[in-house]
Chains A and B, each alone.
Chain A
């Protein structure tokens, strides 16, 4: 069985401050890992993903996430956030060779001026 845990339901942060959104997963098989972002009143968009290779993956808008197999984590970080980063962020896993996809409960990032 697979599960995804996002411990922080809300993260308030001031503009230009660093932020980390935590994601832990459990799985009986190897998984692919994803972060999706949902801006208000929109559908989800892929932010970044880890399939293989370097454990550090980056997005085009400055976010990065590191796959840590021993801690079964895939935390999302940004060194300096902007007001426009205000959104809900979802961690997700897809088990190898299964047509399944599991999302975490989401973390609402609220960037204040």
Chain B
């Protein structure tokens, strides 16, 4: 049981490049979410999903796309990276978004030059 896995662990991009951050969970959780963590700002919700085929925006969705084709996977896409997207990205999954424990992946540290 691997829990929540994220790849890559580190990534450096140039402005304008695109990339996909991968997230997978093996706990059969319906709810999955993406957060970004910036110094002094805590974690902010980017996008979330309540099940396969269903996604919605969080607090800071601009510049990011998501899709949920399977229960296990929830990739985050940056279509045209900007320096403001330099951050640490965490994926999480849970049985119930409001009341249950969220299980976090180890994070992806992204730098956009």
A complexed with B? yes
Instruction: Render A45-60 as a binary contact track against B, CB cut-off 8 A, 1 for contact.
Output: 1100101000000000
Contact of A96 among B42, B98, B104 (CB under 8 A): B98
A43-B104, A43-B106 in contact; A32/B98 too (CB < 8 A)?
Answer: yes
Contacts of B101 in A (CB 8 A): 46, 49
A9-B40, A32-B98 in contact; A100/B58 too (CB < 8 A)?
Answer: yes
A43-B104, A43-B105, A44-B90 in contact; A103/B98 too (CB < 8 A)?
Answer: no
Contacts of B40 in A (CB 8 A): 9, 105-106
Contacts of A103 in B (CB 8 A): 35, 42-44
Report whether A101 and B97 are in contact in the complex, using a CB–CB cutoff of 8 Å.
yes
- In the complex, whether B62 has a CB less than 8 A from a CB of chain A is no
Contacts of A104 in B (CB 8 A): 42
Q: Which residues of A contact B (CB under 8 A)?
A: 4, 6, 9, 32, 36, 42-46, 49, 51, 90, 94-106
Q: Which residues of B contact A (CB under 8 A)?
A: 4, 31, 33, 35, 40-45, 48, 50, 56, 58-59, 90, 92, 97-99, 101-102, 104-107
Apart from A45-B104, A102-B59, A106-B40, 10 more pairs, CB < 8 Å: A4-B42, A9-B40, A36-B102, A43-B104, A51-B99, A90-B43, A94-B99, A95-B98, A101-B33, A103-B35
Which 3 pairs across A and B sit closest by C-beta, in order of nearness? A43-B104, A103-B42, A103-B43
